[in-house]
Amino acid sequence: MRFGYFDDANREYVITTPQTPYPWINYLGSEEFFGLISNTSGGYAFYKDARLRRITRFRYNSVPIDNGGRYFYINDGGDVWSHTWKPVKKDLTFYECRHGLGYSTFIGERNGVRVEQLAFVPKGVNAEVHRLKVKNTSNTNKSIKLFSFIEFCLWDAQDDATNFQRNFSTGEVEIQGSAIYHKTEYKERRNHYAFYSVNAPVAAYDTDRDAFIGLYNGFEAPDSVREGACKNSVASGWSPIAAHQVNIELAPGEEKILIFILGYVENPDEEKWESKGVINKAPAQAIMERFETNEGVEEAFKELKANWSSLLSHYTLQSDDEKLNRMVNIWNPYQCMVTFNMSRSASYFESGIGRGMGFRDSNQDLLGFVHQIPERARERILDIAATQFEDGSCYHQYQPLTKKGNNDIGSGFNDDPLWLILGTTAYIKETGDFGILEEKVPFDNDEKNTASLFEHLKVSFNHVINHLGPHGLPLIGRADWNDCLNLNCFSTTPGESFQTTENQAGGVAESVFIAGMFVYIGNEYITLCKEIGYEEEANRAQVEVDKMKKAVIEHGYDGEWFLRAYDFYGNKIGSNENEEGKIFIEPQGFCIMGGIGVEEGLAEKALHSVAERLDTAYGIVLNNPAFTKYYVEMGEISTYPQGYKENAGIFCHNNPWIACAETVIGRGDRAFEVYKKIAPAYLEDISDIHKTEPYVYSQMIAGKDAVRHGEAKNSWLTGTAAWNFITISQWILGIKPDYKGLKVDPCIPADWKGYTVTREFKGALYEITISNPHHVCRGVKEMLVDGKKIEGNTIPNFTEGTHKVEVTLG
Ligand code: BGC
Ligand code: NOJ
């Protein structure tokens, strides 16, 4: 069942009912100011950091769900309603929400009044614009009162949600004209305030929540709205809000436009005040002036749309498959931008206070984003590398505002360092900017202790070989990609975090997954060393990679698939010998991507086992059989009920690795089948089962052992976005950035006739047409570049112009 439809021409998902199976959200902003906004206008805004600089308040897991947001109310002669349906929930004669790239629109109509809202964050501006068009669609005069409402957060979202003894006494606002300024703590150490304004005279306002809503009401029935009059309340402590009352007279057919701005301003210390106790409002006023008229809004909106057209033009596909085009050209790159910006911090499943930027997460996110804005990927790589330690180990996360690493969610994940190599090589292949390797980057943000980025990659590589176990396989540390395989933790205390509890010393737990990663990413490292003429280092690395390959084949293969790990005591995990968790998905993907066991036929056997034991209609589960009891030596993985999360859920992030692995052995049909199973556009028809947004990936879909098989959770912030984008764009459609040029190596379903990819790469534009007259999965038979036949399958770097590339498979 569907709850809307894709409008590809406008690059929008159109939601036709407010009662979606879960709030279906969108993100506003992609630079410094961000908003989360649901299809009923729930959500919140923040500046840079969802935890430390929260602008509006949001209560997670509230009843009913998705409560609180940027709300508008209409009081039409006593009939109170909202055009976004929530919070009032009065029936609408028409409702529509369109989520587009960086903006959302809402239309609601009732009893002859139609409200149309456009919400977006203009480029280069630290503010959300909410433009409302209010129209009288009846044939009598209308005299309505429109109310706005937002609730300010006292900046640090964690403190705001817990420290009431202080916070109920600190709230302060200023009101000037139609603008309400939130200035809690500005008097002391803060140099920033927020504001909410409207470009029309207000009849009245409220800034104290209890005055506006009434202590015993909910958002759906504020006193001021019901009574038809705000009280001009001035917040003093408690909960500062901003609510405007605008009275509107409309003749039949008449429309009025109101422009609301929710903004954030920082003032330098010497410019904080206009006069004693009066904040300097000039920067806020400049923003308001820019959007005083609809022309200002239209212009900024056009700019936003044009920017997205340009970002998306870096990779576009024309194929016969409408859903595939939609994923590749619109929604997957869009989600890659969002995951790049948010890492795992703020969504409707990530509270914005739990996690910041993940070391491994952000390195992977940038793989899917680097072709959009390489300069931002560059900055990110340097930020991430600066949180690494001299021995190659890393903080698992850092806060975007401070860029400092912290151990809040644990440390010592032995896969982390390797992801930095992969992120960096992807960046250099995309840009040719080898210069980044010479950048001086601190260890642990200590400016007195720096090394070149290349050194950082080297210590990353070495970190693995300095931490090998008895089988010559990498020690796992806290855990590897799978946070929940905690082989050294042995936790028996309820509620204790598996991520931060001290590990038991003296174990020998090894990870076959990290071994596979080491081979795959080690090969990347070797190629890079050769590119920059570090032959000796390349040779040294080659020896280590070869050793690892051998170790995996000797000790990491279980007859029909790759083992997952050895535990603390040296017992096998992910082996046929185990009663539960006999086979895991992750090593099958990464070992084969690293080329291990391909010649020997082990890879094919392993992928056969994946299909046989792990596959379902909705995607491939992480492990099988699911764990049915708690295994103290395995940790968090065995805490989840069967079929959810890392215990045999379809943990989407790793499904693309299987699709990539399938291309390694040339099976394009199966690779595409694996790709499609979790790609949201293909799941639109089962939105009632899937529940989360049909335009973005979710982290997890309940697996075959789960009560709710097929139900997704944790939409938006998942490495799946980057990985399924790479899988389809590079491994299946086969357009791979490389040092020497664009490599063309498709591995597609045999029945495909062909397709065209337009790729912007290092300053030139390539129109690459792939024809498959002989219906093969793989193999470039002939390649013409600008009409001339070339040897091999790499398009040379042209650095400018438009080039036609004709590729025939066979
Ligand atoms: C989740 C992971 C997360 C980890 C650490 C696990 O329960 O499944 O996605 O990374 O906790 O917070
Ligand atoms: C989510 C985390 O963000 C990611 O880093 C991890 O790899 C997966 N969970 C699997 O545990």
Per-residue pLDDT reduced to its tens digit, 786-803: 999 999 999 999 999 999
Alpha-helical (H) ranges within 20-81 are: none
* Residue for token pair 């204790």: 496
Ligand 2 atom closest to Cα of 479?
11
How far apart CA 555 and CA 328 sit, in angstroms, is: 39
Looking at the CA of 413, which ligand is closest? 2
Provide the 3-class DSSP secondary structure of residue 209: helix
The answer on pLDDT for 653 being more than 90 is yes
User: Judging by beta carbons within 10 Å of its beta carbon (0-12, 13-18, 19+), is residue 210 exposed, middle or buried?
Assistant: middle
CA of 728 to the centre of ligand 2 (A): 21
| Per-residue pLDDT at 281 | 98
Strand order in the sheet with 315-318: 315-318, 754-761, 764-771, 802-809, 780-785, 788-789
- β-strand pairing of 802-809 with 764-771: parallel
Looking at the CA of 639, which ligand is closest? 1
Using an 8 Å Cβ cutoff, are 160 and 166 in contact? no
Q: Residue with the nearest Cα to atom 9 of ligand 1? A: 483
How far apart CA 475 and CA 469 sit, in angstroms, is: 5
| Per-residue pLDDT at 327 | 98
| Per-residue pLDDT at 149 | 98
The answer on pLDDT for 356 being more than 90 is no
| Per-residue pLDDT at 333 | 98
* CB neighbour list of residue 546: distance below 8 Å, 6 or more residues apart: none
Q: Residue with the nearest Cα to atom 10 of ligand 1? A: 483
Which string of DSSP letters, residue by residue, matches 754-787? EEEEEEEETTEEEEEEEE-TT--SB-EEEEEETT
Q: Residue with the nearest Cα to atom 7 of ligand 1? A: 484
Provide the 3-class DSSP secondary structure of residue 166: helix
Ligand 1 atom closest to Cα of 484?
6
Ligand 2 atom closest to Cα of 355?
3
Dihedral, CA atoms, 568, 572, 573, 576, nearest 10 degrees?
Answer: -160
Among 333, 310, 337, 419, residue whose Cα is nearest residue 729:
333
Q: SS3 breakdown of the chain: % helix, strand, coil, rounded to 5?
A: 30, 30, 40
Looking at the CA of 410, which ligand is closest? 1
Strand order in the sheet with 357-358: 357-358, 395-398, 405-411
Among 620, 622, 624, 621, residue whose Cα is nearest residue 580:
624
How far apart CA 780 and CA 773 sit, in angstroms, is: 12
pLDDT digits (tens, 9 = 90+) for 397-425: 998 889 999 999 999 999 999 999 999 99
| CA 479 to mean position of chain CA atoms | 22
| Per-residue pLDDT at 743 | 98
- Give 653's DSSP letter: G
Q: Residue with the nearest Cα to atom 5 of ligand 1? A: 483
How far apart CA 70 and CA 68 sit, in angstroms, is: 7
How far apart CA 578 and CA 563 sit, in angstroms, is: 11
Ligand 2 pocket at CB < 6 A: 344, 358, 360-361, 481-484, 646
Dihedral, CA atoms, 451, 456, 461, 467, nearest 10 degrees?
Answer: 80
How far apart CA 677 and CA 654 sit, in angstroms, is: 13
Provide the 3-class DSSP secondary structure of residue 646: coil
The answer on pLDDT for 264 being more than 90 is yes
For residue 457 the two structure tokens come to: 């990659």
For residue 170 the two structure tokens come to: 């600190």
For residue 69 the two structure tokens come to: 């947001």
Question: Which of 343, 481, 698 has the most ligand 2 atoms within 8 A of CB, as the residue to mutate?
Answer: 481
CA of 361 to the centre of ligand 2 (A): 7
Looking at the CA of 419, which ligand is closest? 2
Over the Cα atoms of the chain, what is R_g? 28
Ligand 1 pocket at CB < 6 A: 409, 483-484, 499, 636, 645-646
| Per-residue pLDDT at 3 | 98
Among 583, 756, 710, 733, residue whose Cα is nearest residue 659:
733
User: Judging by beta carbons within 10 Å of its beta carbon (0-12, 13-18, 19+), is residue 438 exposed, middle or buried?
Assistant: exposed
Angle at 761 between CA 755 and CA 762, to 5 degrees: 165
Q: Residue with the nearest Cα to atom 4 of ligand 1? A: 483
Provide the 3-class DSSP secondary structure of residue 193: strand
CA of 247 to the centre of ligand 2 (A): 50
Q: Cβ of 774: how many Cβ atoms within 10 Å?
A: 11
Q: Residue with the nearest Cα to atom 7 of ligand 2? A: 481
pLDDT digits (tens, 9 = 90+) for 371-385: 999 999 999 999 999
Angle at 800 between CA 798 and CA 805, to 5 degrees: 55
Ligand 2 atom closest to Cα of 361?
5
Ligand 2 atom closest to Cα of 482?
11
Looking at the CA of 479, which ligand is closest? 2
pLDDT digits (tens, 9 = 90+) for 460-492: 999 999 999 999 999 999 999 999 999 999 999
pLDDT digits (tens, 9 = 90+) for 73-126: 999 999 999 999 999 999 999 999 999 999 999 999 999 999 999 999 999 999
CA of 598 to the centre of ligand 1 (A): 32
Question: Which of 353, 415, 483, 622 has the most ligand 1 atoms within 8 A of CB, as the residue to mutate?
Answer: 483
The answer on pLDDT for 771 being more than 90 is yes
Report the catalytic residues.
483
Q: What are the beta bridge partners of residue 264?
A: 194
Residues 239-259 have a mean pLDDT of: 98
Ligand 2 atom closest to Cα of 481?
7
Using an 8 Å Cβ cutoff, are 509 and 475 in contact? yes
Provide the sign of the torsion angle of the four alpha carbons 578, 581, 583, 587, taken in this order: negative
Which residue type is seen at 508?
V
CA of 109 to the centre of ligand 2 (A): 43
> Confidence class of residue 339 from pLDDT cuts 50, 70 and 90?
very high
How far apart CA 94 and CA 112 sit, in angstroms, is: 11
How far apart CA 332 and CA 325 sit, in angstroms, is: 10
Which string of DSSP letters, residue by residue, matches 284-336? HHHHHHHTSSHHHHHHHHHHHHHHHHHHHTTEEEE-S-HHHHHIIIIIHHHHH
* CB neighbour list of residue 626: distance below 8 Å, 6 or more residues apart: 580, 581, 642, 643, 647, 648, 703, 705
CA of 371 to the centre of ligand 2 (A): 23
> Confidence class of residue 683 from pLDDT cuts 50, 70 and 90?
very high
Among 532, 539, 536, residue whose Cα is nearest residue 438:
532
- β-strand pairing of 754-761 with 764-771: antiparallel
Residue count of the chain, please give it: 810
Using an 8 Å Cβ cutoff, are 795 and 805 in contact? yes
